[in-house]
Amino acid sequence: MSTKILIVEDDESLGSTLRTFLRDEGYTVDLAPSITEAKTKTYDDYELMILDWMLPDGQGIDYLRELRGGGIKLPVIMLTARTEVIDKVVGLESGADDYLTKPFEPRELAARIRVQLRHQSEKGDSSSEATQMKLGELLIDRERREVTFKGLIVDFTKMEYEFLVLLAESPNRAFSREEILNKVWGYENYPSTRTVDTHVLQIRQKLYDSLIETVRGVGYRLRFEE
């Protein structure tokens, strides 16, 4: 059975073009022109959603927050004409897995889709691994997506959590900023390495400063000694 994708896009021309292109790529594609119609779908039927930011009955970003708040983990690629870095950050922090600005080539969207589906497959392959990682007073529960420090649950955004998990899976290993961007955000050079620095600062503030160590000329590592 082919991978099933839901496109939520009110631009009839763009929606039709993407549906035809992705069907030619071998995907099964449904098109919803509004949030209201998207809500009639059974999300478990799909492996990925392509979601426009501006829709006739609301903003896709608000709909995305609603999905994530309801526990829907379906990978979502946002489409928007907004090009400011802050808009990209807001979209990703609200739960988007990727972000594509209009106009774009359908081939680029197809590449982004393959990245997200590969990530989902890798998560499935690792489902038998231990669901908890404990490093001193830090506990990461992957099944619950919870971070506990000194016995207290610490609130993390989606990207902060993914960033921390990446470092915690390989403690004391140095990651370059570019590698972190690729592994956490799903593709290279999003949108600048300053994004990595900002997230390091946020994680340090929520946990403790010396947890993530700056490796001069390289990037960062999670410092942990038994």
Q: Confidence class of residue 4 from pLDDT cuts 50, 70 and 90?
A: very high
Distances (CA, A) of 193 to 93, 160, 180: 16, 15, 9
pLDDT tens readout for residues 161-194: 989 999 998 889 999 988 888 778 765 445 566 7
The three-point CA angle 18-36-46 to 5° equals: 50
CA 171 to centroid of chain Cα atoms: 22
Written as six digits, the tokens of 71 are 């526990």
Cα separation of 200 and 209, whole Å?
Answer: 9
pLDDT above 70 covers what percent of the chain?
88
Torsion of CA 73, 74, 80, 84, to 10 degrees: 30
* CA-derived radius of gyration, the chain: 18
Sorted by where each starts, the structural domains of the chain and their CATH numbers stand as 4-125 (3.40.50.2300), 132-222 (1.10.10.10)
Per-residue pLDDT, 16: 93
pLDDT at 222 over 90: yes
pLDDT, one tens digit per residue, over 35-92 is 999 999 999 899 999 999 899 999 998 999 899 888 888 999 988 887 666 666 776 7
**pLDDT attached to residue 190:** 52
218: left (phi over 0), alpha (psi -120 to 50) or beta: alpha
Residues 25 and 144: their CA atoms lie apart, in Å, by: 34
Alpha helices for the chain (secondary structure H): 12-24, 35-38, 60-69, 85-93, 106-125, 158-169, 177-185, 194-206
Check residue 128 and give its pLDDT: 40
User: pLDDT tens digit string along 192-213?
Assistant: 667 888 999 999 999 988 899 9
Reduced to 3 states (helix: H, G, I; strand: E, B; else coil), residue 75 is: coil
